[in-house]
Amino acid sequence: MEGADALAEIGTWDASEFAYAYAMRAPVETIKDRSDDAVAAAFERQRAALRRQTVRAATTAQKQTTADSKPAPRSLFREERNVGT
């Protein structure tokens, strides 16, 4: 994993600390944006994924609640009742 995908993954960690070593060079440059822009974009991508996940969970819960609260189906015909038994 590299580039924006790696930054998005870091965004899922409980705690993150970033330090820049300007003198060090990566063997391959996988992020072309400014570092602060790339990190901000990665975190926004992660927040969007969490929002989608939250909406899906809420929709599923609402569907379940709606299904549980529906009245029992009723027959189109009157049920015969046994009187005096």
Surface-to-core class of residue 7, CB atoms within 10 Å of its CB (0-12 exposed, 13-18 middle, 19+ buried):
buried
In a domain, 80, yes or no: no
**What residues make up the domain containing 45?**
1-10+30-65
HEC letters along 32-60: CCCHHHHHHHHHHHHHHHHHHHHHHHHHH
pTM above 0.85, yes or no: no
- From CA 28, how far away is CA 34, in angstroms rounded? 16
Residue 81 located in a structural domain: no
pLDDT single digits (tens) 60-78: 877 777 666 666 666 666 6
Q: Is residue 71 part of a domain?
A: no
Report pLDDT for 16.
66
Domain count across the chain? 1
Spatial separation of the C-alpha atoms in residues 74 and 55, rounded to whole Å: 33
The answer as to whether 73 is a domain residue is no
